[in-house]
């Protein structure tokens, strides 16, 4: 199959920012531009300068950025029905943004023209002609987004196609077909795009899919198969309602599955890019997200794990290193000594499934699992345990004592924790307030250890989960605590079990800090 080059537009700062719970500061937006540029995105649709002062300020700040790969793109609409292009406030703001590229959205559905714009079909076409031709005369590269194109096509195909023809004749550089409601099936996309391609063989076509029916990535890929050369979406799929086509899935699919080329210098930066953007967006990447999720290359089933150990790739569609991910094996009731030996190989390469040390560690694991521990989701605690059993762990600190005090029920009441730890020959005592005893204990431990290990400034907890293990015992039940931590570059999970929730939390917390300090 002949290779095809595809240009990529990321709209996280415009369409993505419309997702529930997302709000980017000016500094966030500038950081996102740098991340996307470093990865190799062609266009960054960075906001609507006419919509708010923050977006206009961003474009002023962004003008001084030195970008290596990306071109910033300001977003706007066709002129207002009552204005000329020269007097239209939205178009003035678009030009003030100073970007080389502009995206213009125009209605492609006759229903929307009548019910939302409330103009005649002819006036809508005039608005498109005036706007696109005016911006082209100003020296701008114009991406025309045919909004609601697919819904409009199925309602009134002749008018939807007339909209495209108008934009083409006005000089638009890219004609982007938008599945704005995310309602189309892959076969519908394929059929319509094929018809558009045959009608406009010389036009550069784009695709913009929302994910309301879960088909955004598949729809975008089929559009590319039918000749589309420009793809829009957002990293991590963020966006209004159910989001947009996820570029973290779509880009590797195009490159690795469809023989396409993109301006991506290193695909192995995919996971890092998705993770950095998720951190700024304050969202978690689902474990089962293709390519970039924590579980994307994780093996638990005994037959699958055994097959992977015998033949790499037996149950993987690509090598995880290609996209910057890594392979994981989970210990569980359906996996045994071979998987344990594999998981410990990076620091104990001489161990095999028949080594007595592996047998001893497995026995200890079974004892702890009987008590309620679960290491499937807590690889960091598993490694700490194994190093301890093998005599390879020299603890970086030792707990002498801790004490926690709660206040209730006054509004704003805080918890208090005091901790004493030994580091080498030194003793350190610290105290902290927190929103609950675990938060206070975490704060006191960090204050004590940062004196010796300043790198702990980079470590923070990202999740804290508690599960009651024996509901029949009510408040006397054992609980299992899982703590997720990150240092900004990697993430890990630790576990603790006790009838005392504070003690269980301490076990998981101490393992989390120890894991970071041993530099695994």
The pLDDT tens digits of the residues spanning 219-278 come to: 999 999 999 999 999 999 999 999 999 999 999 999 999 999 999 999 999 999 999 999
Q: Assign 3-class secondary structure to 498-510.
A: ECCHHHHHHHHHH
Cα separation, 249 vs 266, in Å, equals: 15
Q: How many C-beta atoms lie closer than 10 Å to residue 451's C-beta? A: 13
Average pLDDT over the chain, rounded to whole?
90
CA 254 from centroid of its chain's CA atoms: 18
Full-prediction pTM beyond 0.85?
Answer: no
Between residues 384 and 304, the one the model is more confident about: 384
- Give the count of alpha carbons within 13 A of 115, CB side only: 6
CATH of 398-517, one of 3.30.9.10, 3.40.50.1100, 1.10.645.10, 3.30.160.270: 3.30.160.270
Query: Are the CB atoms for 440 and 433 separated by under 8 Å?
Result: yes
- Give CA angle at 495 (493, 497), nearest 5°: 170
Q: How confident is the model at residue 333 (pLDDT cuts 50, 70, 90)?
A: very low
pLDDT score of 480 more than 70: yes
Residue among 153, 148, 214 nearest 181 (CA) = 148
In the chain, the percentage of residues whose pLDDT exceeds 90 is: 67
Tell me the pLDDT tens digit for each residue of 466-478: 888 775 666 667 8
Give the pair of three-digit tokens for residue 263.
Answer: 């301006």
The average pLDDT across 193-215 equals: 97
Specify burial of residue 134 (Cβ count, 10 A radius: 0-12, 13-18, 19+): buried
Q: In degrees rounded to 5, what are phi and psi of residue 355?
A: -65, 140
Tell me the pLDDT tens digit for each residue of 38-67: 999 999 999 999 887 778 889 999 999 999
Cα separation, 422 vs 44, in Å, equals: 51
- pLDDT value of position 318: 94
- pLDDT value of position 335: 55
* Long-range pairs, 419-423, Cβ under 8 A, ≥24: 419/444, 419/445, 419/448, 420/448, 421/397, 421/445, 421/448, 421/449, 422/397, 422/398, 423/396, 423/397, 423/398, 423/449, 423/452
Q: Which of 22-31, 107-116, 377-386 has the lowest mean pLDDT?
A: 377-386
Q: In degrees rounded to 5, what are phi and psi of residue 304?
A: -65, -45
Q: Which residue has the tokens 């779509």?
A: 250
- pLDDT value of position 451: 92
- pLDDT value of position 519: 74
Cα separation, 515 vs 484, in Å, equals: 12
- Give CA angle at 19 (54, 230), nearest 5°: 90
User: How is domain 4-265 classified at the CATH fold level?
Assistant: TIM Barrel (3.20.20)
User: Can you count the helices (H) and strands (E) in the chain?
Assistant: 17, 18
Cα separation, 517 vs 135, in Å, equals: 56
- Give CA angle at 264 (259, 269), nearest 5°: 110
Q: How confident is the model at residue 449 (pLDDT cuts 50, 70, 90)?
A: very high
DSSP letter for 417, please: E
Tell me the pLDDT tens digit for each residue of 364-419: 888 888 888 878 778 889 899 999 999 998 899 999 999 998 876 666 668 899 99
pLDDT score of 185 more than 70: yes
- Give CA angle at 194 (191, 199), nearest 5°: 130
Identify the three-state secondary structure at position 399: strand
Specify burial of residue 409 (Cβ count, 10 A radius: 0-12, 13-18, 19+): exposed
The domain spans of the chain are 4-265, 398-517
């Amino acid at each position: 199959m002949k290779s095809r080059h595809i240009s990529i537009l990321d709209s996280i700062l415009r369409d993505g920012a419309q997702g529930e719970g997302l709000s980017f500061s000016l500094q966030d937006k500038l950081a996102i531009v740098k991340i996307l540029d470093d990865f190799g995105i062609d266009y960054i649709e960075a906001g609507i300068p006419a919509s708010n002062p923050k977006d206009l300020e961003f474009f002023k700040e962004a003008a001084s950025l030195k970008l290596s790969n990306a071109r910033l793109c300001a977003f706007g609409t066709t002129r207002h029905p009552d204005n000329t292009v020269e007097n239209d406030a939205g178009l003035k703001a678009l030009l003030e943004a100073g970007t080389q590229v502009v995206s213009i959205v125009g209605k492609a559905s006759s229903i929307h023209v009548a019910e939302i714009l409330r103009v005649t079909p002819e006036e809508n076409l005039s608005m498109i002609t005036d706007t696109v031709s005016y911006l082209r005369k100003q020296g701008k590269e114009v991406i025309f987004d045919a909004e609601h194109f697919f819904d409009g096509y199925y309602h009134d195909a002749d008018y939807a196609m007339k909209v495209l023809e108008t934009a083409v004749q006005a000089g638009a550089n890219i004609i982007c077909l938008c599945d704005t409601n995310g309602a189309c099936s892959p076969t519908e996309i394929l059929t319509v795009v094929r018809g558009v391609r045959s009608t406009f063989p010389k036009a550069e076509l784009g695709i913009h899919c929302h994910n309301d029916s879960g088909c955004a990535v598949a729809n975008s890929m089929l559009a590319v198969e039918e000749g589309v050369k420009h793809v829009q979406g957002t990293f991590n799929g963020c966006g209004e309602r159910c989001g947009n086509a996820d570029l973290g899935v779509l880009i590797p699919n195009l490159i690795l599955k469809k023989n396409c080329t993109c301006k991506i210098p290193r695909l192995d930066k995919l996971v890092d890019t998705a993770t950095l953007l998720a951190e700024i967006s304050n969202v978690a990447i689902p474990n089962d997200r293709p390519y970039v999720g924590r579980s994307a290359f994780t093996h638990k089933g005994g037959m699958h794990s055994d097959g992977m150990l015998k033949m790499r790739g037996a149950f993987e569609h690509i090598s995880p290193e290609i996209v910057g991910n890594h392979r994981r094996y989970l210990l569980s009731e359906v996996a045994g000594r071979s998987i344990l030996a594999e998981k410990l190989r990076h620091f104990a390469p001489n161990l095999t499934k028949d080594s007595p040390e592996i047998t001893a560690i497995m026995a200890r694991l079974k004892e702890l699992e009987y008590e309620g521990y679960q290491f499937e989701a807590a690889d960091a605690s598993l490694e700490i345990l194994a190093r301890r059993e093998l005599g390879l762990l020299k603890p970086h600190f030792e707990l002498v004592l801790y004490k926690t005090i709660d206040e209730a029920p006054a509004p704003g009441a805080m918890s208090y924790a005091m901790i004493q730890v030994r580091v080498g020959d030194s003793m350190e005592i610290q105290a902290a307030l927190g929103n609950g005893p675990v938060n206070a204990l975490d704060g006191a431990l960090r204050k004590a250890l940062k004196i010796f290990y300043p790198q702990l400034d980079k470590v923070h907890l990202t999740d804290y989960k508690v599960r009651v293990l024996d509901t029949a015992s009510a408040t006397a039940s054992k609980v299992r605590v899982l703590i997720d931590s990150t240092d900004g570059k990697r993430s890990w999970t630790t576990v603790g079990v006790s009838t005392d929730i504070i003690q269980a939390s301490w076990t998981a917390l101490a393992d989390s800090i120890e894991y970071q300090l041993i530099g695994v």
